[in-house]
Amino acid sequence: MPSITTFVAILATALFYVSVSSQVVYSIDPESVDETTRAGWCQAQLSSCPLLCLQLQGESSTTADNRCEASDLSYSCICGNGLTPNLTEYSQTLPYFTCTEFGSQCVANCNGDSLCQSACRADHPCGAQNPVKVNLSTVTTASATKTNLPAGATSGVAGIVYNGLGGAATTPASDSSNSQSNTQQSGAEIALGLGHSYGLAVIFAGVFAGFALVFSRRRLAAIAAAEGDISNGDPWILRSEDRSSAAEGERARMWKLTHSKKAASSAHTSFHPRKENHTEPDNLLPPPVTTPKSPMTPSKKQAAHECVSEEALVHLKSYKYSSVDKSLISNYILKHYWNAFVELLPLWLAPNMVTLLGFFCILTNVICLVIWMPDLVGPGPSWLYYSFAFGLWMYSTMDNVDGKQARRTGTSSGLGELFDHGIDSLNCTLASLCETAAMGLGTSKAGIFTSLIPCLPMFFSTWETYHTHTLYLGVFNGPTEGLILACTLMILSGYYGPEIWTHRITDLVGHHYFLGYHEFFGTYSVRDLWVPVLVVSLFGAHLPFCVINVVKARRRDNLPVMPVFLEWTPMAVFTFSIGAWLFSPYSTLMPDNHLVLFCLTMSFVFGRMTTKIILAHLTRQPFPYWTVMLTPLVGGAILGNLPRIGLPQVSSNVELWYLRGYLVFALVVYFRWAFLVINSICNYLGINCLTIPSKKLAANQEKPKAGNGNAKTTDGHGNDKRVD
């Protein structure tokens, strides 16, 4: 892809030509900020302290000293275990606010000089705006006494004073000679800094560009076909029926030019029944037109490997979606909401586009998360948590009405299930990131677990569907009740702040509601019980039913049961490799706050793994035991544990660039495979992916005139909705 290569070359050139910069130690005059603003800073500081204590060793949920004085901007944050977090690494802390105010005053003093203003912002990254935590010490010990240091600084070990510059530190006077040599940054460090600041923005832009690359050419070609301009179009991208129509049109045109007199008679008979013994001479038949072969058309071996050979795709023609939803909330409450919502959608909106719009809501949430709360701790602004809940709710709504829109427009197909569940797979880690941030879990073990645990139930449900050919949703299931619970958590975090989850449950709801069992909960908070609840829900309420349904299906078909458990191999590799990598004491990814980058990478890896299973289910192909995208994950687990096998530990920069390279690899492999599969299915079935064909659209517009509101749709489902 030349365009990507060119972009990478330009970016690399720009990074190497960045000039040398220097760190600055600063403070502000408290009187330069109005008292109301300072009081707000202190309130955020007091709320952040107990959350940050949970990020340290021991994950203390109490504080020995937590104070902040708005008058002189002095503060104290000492955890119950005697440790003091380095507050300069996080947002929504007093050092962070001091740093941002210093930057604002710096910009104001530039008198309109754009270069000066740009330098003020670039040279003073505050808190988690630079997600790599490069402070000299990330944990310091302190006594329970009030600190009264210059604003934006906390005292550390060995006389180190941390300022609000996201990692810079002043050193004692005896080390002044060493500090002189460290005041200048090398060009490589500046380049890394730019990567830290803008890397995720580039990646998210690449995600949107990938979707555009996959689908834009198909849309343009469909438009060209509708206008009859096949000479400048790309016949490879056209749907099969479009190619046939184009070929027939070309043959008729050439026929008329060669046989002008006989063409009129032939054209007449082509639309009317011919006489029984009437035949046309061979030399008058229009010559056949061959369709150019696509440069992306897979070979027979590749098509068979990717389940897109004609022998596999033939099963899509007999496809019929099957699901069982026992949720009471879905059947008695949300069903009416979904039925009303789908009526608001226009008939020209394709069901797969509905699914994609819901996924864009989640991507928007994650982008806001990266901008306003990259440390996943916060607390962030209240509107951010509310936006998380709204985005997740809209994703859930779109995910539930896309099938209704397909039946409403008569465009149901196997591609719809593949696209729907493929997006669900991509969403598993991304939506959970917002939930992690809403509870202020950060990159703690609980935060890592919360972000990645949804992959397990998604995999087992997909595995179950592969064998039973039916999607089962229980009385309490993740897509309905689970998402409602997540939205509720986000709304409560927006109203009360994420620190509410660190309070004792008995204090929040009162002892009398526990009917005498309040002592059982003791001092437990919601955060203390969060991981056990998730584990019990997965292994006690979800996995056993998946196994039972698969065993029943195998016995019904007189097939052996035990071999199906070997199909857990890819998920076992996925899970254990993540655990070995992230929980390794030699890995720096989580201490350096790269959970968002890691989850984004795992989104594509897990998406490819489960979507291959869905495709194998639709095409009745063997279970896919492996995907090439798992190989770098195993390599990362080995890289993070090299000292265990007697090799030297890699630096944090090497590990970070390995993860970034893994993300680029996953991005390219996923979208190339997605394009191959979607293009093959659309061409075989003669359908569009993100648009509704003009003939189908015109037919849908005629339905209200026919007045048949109870007509059956193409997939056999009743449709008692209005279609106007």
Provide DSSP, 246-277: HHHHHHHHHHHHH-HHHHHHHHHHTTSPPPTT
Q: What is the mean pLDDT of residues 564-580?
A: 96
The pLDDT value given to residue 333? 95
State how far the Cα of 551 lies from the Cα of 194, in Å rounded to an integer. Answer: 53
Strand residues in 52-108 grouped as ranges (E): 63-69, 74-79, 83-85
| Pair of tokens at residue 272 | 């009317």
Whether 105 is in a domain gets the answer yes
Element (H, E) at 667: helix 652-685
Judged by DSSP in three states, 74 sits in: strand
Q: What is the mean pLDDT of residues 120-141?
A: 49
Of the residues 123, 153, 180, the one at which a domain ends: 123
Checking if the pLDDT of 179 tops 70, the result is: no
Q: With cut-offs at 50, 70 and 90, classify the pLDDT of residue 104.
A: confident
The contacts of residue 6 (CB under 8 Å, 6+ apart) are: none
32: burial class by Cβ within 10 Å (0-12, 13-18, 19+)? exposed
Whether 432 is in a domain gets the answer yes
Whether 435 is in a domain gets the answer yes
Amino acid at 166: G
Pairing of strands 471-473, 323-325: parallel
Checking if the pLDDT of 268 tops 60, the result is: no
Q: How far is CA 606 from the centre of its chain?
A: 11
Query: Which value, to the nearest 10 degrees, does the dihedral of the CA atoms of residues 393, 394, 395, 400 take?
Result: 90
The pLDDT value given to residue 302? 61
Judged by DSSP in three states, 649 sits in: coil
Whether 115 is in a domain gets the answer yes
| Range from 235-244, 326-335, 563-572 carrying the lowest mean pLDDT | 235-244
Checking if the pLDDT of 84 tops 80, the result is: yes
Whether 57 is in a domain gets the answer yes
- Each residue's pLDDT tens digit, 269-299: 333 333 333 333 444 444 444 444 444 556 6
Closest of 137, 122, 129 to residue 56, by C-alpha = 137
Of the residues 96, 123, 150, the one at which a domain ends: 123
The pLDDT value given to residue 696? 84
State how far the Cα of 501 lies from the Cα of 510, in Å rounded to an integer. Answer: 15
- Each residue's pLDDT tens digit, 453-496: 999 999 999 999 999 999 999 888 889 999 999 999 999 999 99
The pLDDT value given to residue 232? 36
| Range from 110-124, 551-565, 596-610, 698-712 carrying the lowest mean pLDDT | 698-712
Q: What is the mean pLDDT of residues 139-143?
A: 35
| Range from 43-57, 186-200, 371-385 carrying the lowest mean pLDDT | 186-200
Q: What is the mean pLDDT of residues 54-79?
A: 81
Q: What Cα–Cα distance (Å) separates residue 718 from each residue in 336, 709, 721?
A: 16, 10, 9
Who has greater pLDDT, 111 or 386?
386
C-beta of residue 430 within 8 angstroms of C-beta of residue 362: yes
Whether 663 is in a domain gets the answer no
Provide DSSP, 595-620: HHHHHHHHHHHHHHHHHHHHHHHHHT
Of 124, 315, 336, 421, the active-site residue reads 421
What percent of the chain has a predicted confidence (pLDDT) above 70? 64
Domain CATH for 322: 1.20.120.1760
Provide DSSP, 238-253: S-HHHHHHHHHHHHHH
Helix 595-619 to helix 187-226 angle (10° resolution) is 30
Active-site annotation holds for 421 = yes
The pLDDT value given to residue 60? 67
Domain count, the chain: 2
Q: What is the mean pLDDT of residues 69-87?
A: 84
Print the domain residue range for 62: 23-123
Q: What Cα–Cα distance (Å) separates residue 136 from each residue in 77, 167, 193?
A: 19, 7, 17
Which residue bears the tokens 């960045």?
A: 18
- Each residue's pLDDT tens digit, 392-434: 999 999 999 999 999 999 888 889 999 999 999 999 999 999 9
Whether 74 is in a domain gets the answer yes
Q: With cut-offs at 50, 70 and 90, classify the pLDDT of residue 6.
A: very low
Of the residues 66, 95, 123, the one at which a domain ends: 123
Q: What is the mean pLDDT of residues 602-615?
A: 95
Whether 255 is in a domain gets the answer no
Checking if the pLDDT of 159 tops 60, the result is: no
